[in-house]
Structure 1
């Protein structure tokens, strides 16, 4: 089992200056790198406290690449619908070279109506833009004199520069929140997968992973070579009560941030997102104790969190990669440092 960290900001100018938040991300990424963590990831979102301090993950990851040596750098995720594939493939290949082949590319569809409106893109087109964007990027990375004639873009012949450091291209992940169809499609295409363990039940994750692994095998890919990342908020302290207190505060503030971001779904519907029009009213969040009991949040002493991780490994496989949300900007950066150090001291030797 491997451990990485995720930066998913949930702050705005009223809570923290963005330069301060980015400085804290650099500090934590350097620490995780020095302690042999597997990866650091960040998101793409706009406008809201919910992820809005990370409108371009490539920019932040490029800064982190300059301050680290071995840790992998992951997008979680870039949104093909919002960027021309020629530009997206080029800047990702640039980061792959700047990091000397440490890039993992997660692609996502996006789901917030306000973001689609700002880019003047129909949400009904999200799936085709997603599929075409991934296919076009992979073609631009791996071939020369590329000609592309798709539903949304046409270009070529072009040879994208720079060529990726990793050949034929960086590892590709599909980021999925709830859709089991997305898991099956990822398996059929031979893509790795990123899932948000914090929002799904044990049974939901098991069903999706079973469908994904089955599709992967049926498509002819070697079982066991797929990469699966599961993300969870994590708060670890020698004082378990302190860890849970920090986690409760952070979880409540994150809940406020996502509630603001999804509010526009109450007046929106899209055939590409069935049922999402009810998302705003469905965000009834269980209390922290329930989330900890169901392993949707990792919080407590090193021994307590170790027990949670052991159960996650038993449920989903010891080969999954855990991506831990250690810093949203809501709590002091020192809490993130403590979590990273204690995981490195107590969990990496046991599970790594």
Structure 2
């Protein structure tokens, strides 16, 4: 992961997004993603890079003590010279809540209260903790605080984030029908689509034919795992039919030659105003590393210039296309 972070920085990607997951991956599971402490991993990535931003997609706020989290994120921000993006969500996974001893009926309140306390802790004034007025240190380098990104599957939270001045993260595992629904709620509440990372699985090969041949075994393994998790039982994410391999390949993945992938990215820009494509290029750890590295190379060196040229022709101005990478995803942004 750390070597990959260095490589994608060299390729021109701009950010890496790290997930918080629990109870996935072990020495007996050969394929799939591993669970690491996202904050410790972020520190290691930031230490190995000089320009790459590191974001969280997402930290599960109900599972964290807000004062400790405020200290740790601010410390990362200072050490990295302001390269941290603070992605968060409620953290409503029942298995996680049980393991951490968090009552499910408290998740919403914990999310709002913890975020409010973190923002106060990052402010200039002391805050009251019990009967003591305390200054939480350090303060983040980015002022008033690192950018905040909300992960959500509900229209209500998408609208709330927009009203609060935060961006939302459109998770890549979400179906396009649900992505469009969330974008509508977000934009109608005043959110800027250009600021919201928009998740899609992405695989780039030399041709459309080679892309399908190379990616298909990964599609079969990933969809089998996702069906086994019962992901389709979570409202607002995907339907069971979306996880059928052919449907997944057609509707959930930007895949093909650099030219085909660039057209798909520009279509998202034209339809929804997408200016930050969060490209999940490791397919949750199921894509073999040599194919991942090849896809990243083609994405950076061949697809990106095509996207930039398309954006320039639409705006009449020079366009740049920031990229990003993470333990499980790669992001390409197109302002």
TM-score range, shorter chain: 0.7 to 0.9
Structure 1 range deviating more: 99-108 or 127-136: 127-136
Matched residue, 1:77: 58
Matched residue, 1:269: none
TM-score normalized with structure 1 length: 0.77
Structure 1 range deviating more: 330-339 or 193-202: 193-202
> What secondary structure, in the 3-state scheme, does the structure 1 residue paired with 2:190 have?
helix
Separation (CA, whole Å) in 2 of partners of 1:300 and 1:84: 43
Q: Does 1:214 align with 2:188?
A: yes
Q: Is the 8 A contact 1:44 1:51 kept in 2?
A: no
Separation (CA, whole Å) in 2 of partners of 1:123 and 1:335: 40
Aligned length: 302
Give 1:288 deviation, angstroms.
4.2
Cα distance, 1:99–1:90 mapped onto 2, change above 3 Å: same
Q: Is the 8 A contact 2:17 2:57 kept in 1?
A: yes
Give 1:234 deviation, angstroms.
1.4
Give 1:239 deviation, angstroms.
4.0
Where in structure 1 are there 5+ consecutive unaligned residues? 1-24, 149-153, 218-222, 266-274
Aligned with 1:192 (options 137, 157, 167): 167
Q: Is the 8 A contact 1:46 1:54 kept in 2?
A: yes
Which digits, 9 at most, give the CA deviation of each residue in 1:291-322, with x for residues without a partner? 3443x21111111211211211122114x211
**Within 5 A, what are the aligned runs for 1:227-306?**
227-262=195-230, 276=234, 283-294=240-251, 296-306=252-262
Aligned with 2:117 (options 112, 115, 136): 136
Separation (CA, whole Å) in 1 of partners of 2:238 and 2:7: 39
Q: Is the 8 A contact 1:262 1:279 kept in 2?
A: no
Matched residue, 2:13: 37
TM-score normalized with structure 2 length: 0.81
Structure 1 range deviating more: 308-317 or 48-57: 48-57
Separation (CA, whole Å) in 2 of partners of 1:128 and 1:173: 18
Matched residue, 1:158: 134
